[in-house]
Homo-oligomer: A and B are copies of this chain.
Amino acid sequence: MTTARIHDFFATRRPASPCLVVDLDVVHDNYKAFEKALPDSRIYYAVKANPAPEILRLLATLGSSFDTASVAEIEMALEAGATPDRISFGNTIKKERDIARAHELGISLFAVDCVEEVEKVARAAPGARVFCRVLTDGEGAEWPLSRKFGCVPAMAVDVLAQAARLGLDAYGVSFHVGSQMTNLDAWDKALADARMVFEAMLEKGIQLKMVNMGGGFPTRYLKDVPSAQAYGRAIFDALRKHFGNRIPETIIEPGRGMVGNAGVIKSEVVLVSKKSDNDNVRWVYLDIGKFGGLAETMDEAIRYNIVTDRDGDASEPCVLAGPTCDSADVMYEKNPYPLPLTLTVGDEVLIEGTGAYTTTYSAVAFNGFEPLKSYVI
């Protein structure tokens, strides 16, 4: 998963460790794969996954739209060349003044999940299109979404009806099956719920137009995952099953699936040690950890693929930890990570599949360490 271009960059540029390198060719291929797999869906790249300007510019050129979480992300998407009609303000939790600012910038598509949010949008962005996020159970996702976003389908009907009453365009529903979702049936269940909302709204005389199928498209970490095309087929089948010949406009919001496998973090082994002479587990400390960009190892949720020059030597499971003075800065301890016994201080390791949710997750200055440096090539 470390491409030849990335290998070449490390070899010739020798950037200081730790750093992330993202290969735009992989992002390009991912975009094309999504386009091919779901030719009838519009692609809204989830900017939060990696807002590097080079990535946004490439995707804008390819024709992508953008899912944004804040005014700052809206501005980045505009800066990259996206027109306002290609930008969705997809955060269900927005300050009214941020909605107003987005409206000023020309954004006309907003996520909501309760009447209180609809009221804010009606006041600050009159006439805008809104879609209501519906709760799904997210079973099968490696990074489960809990109940933070969305409401039950029955409530979504009330929310959208209220939107229409307040002069907004009740435009559709959204769901998110959970990040890094590997269970293809998850979309079927969510689309059944979406159709229910469409029907209930039609009974009120309102024709919804769009289903936002969110993200959840996985990147390959250690396990193989179904390819984008298998996802596409499963989703198209579910759409056909629930909406028959009246398939609505659909959008998808890949984030991790667009950039995850495009990035590799180079890190350095700072220390390898044991806690006692008769300890049977080594501790391997890297110069990057939970607070330097690998926040998604929280609860050991995401297990990255780690490559060393000593792979092939005898290995043993190790505890893998970061360089800060924070005891929570341990990445894999419950499920220790097998690493070569010969691995030693100063060795370089590559942490693959780290293009998403790393640079922006990194702490601003924890323990005095700088945020993760990033190179987009």
Q: Does A361 contact B (CB under 8 A)?
A: yes
Q: Does A321 contact B (CB under 8 A)?
A: yes
State A92–B321 Cα separation when bound (angstroms): 12
A114 at the interface (CB under 8 A from B): yes
> With the chains together, A201 CA to B116 CA distance in Å?
67
Q: Are A361 and B291 within 8 A (Cβ)?
A: yes
Please state if A73 and B368 are interface contacts (CB–CB under 8 Å). yes
Q: Does A145 sit at the interface, judged by CB under 8 A?
A: yes
A369 at interface by CB-CB < 8 Å: yes
Give complex CA distance A147, B274 in Å. Answer: 10
Please name all residues of chain B whose beta carbon is closer than 8 Å to the beta carbon of A365 when the two chains form the complex: 51, 72, 359-360
- Name which of A202-210, A243-251, A256-264, A265-273 contacts chain B: A265-273
Partner of A148, one of B135, B268, B327: B327
- Given the complex, which residues of B lie within 8 Å of A353, measured CB to CB? none
Chain B residues near A148 (CB-CB < 8 A): 283, 321, 327, 329-330
In the complex, besides A91-B324, A93-B285, A149-B327, 17 extra interface pairs with C-beta distance below 8 angstroms are A47-B368, A48-B325, A72-B370, A73-B368, A76-B368, A91-B367, A93-B271, A95-B270, A114-B271, A115-B273, A116-B345, A147-B275, A149-B325, A154-B276, A155-B276, A360-B367, A363-B364
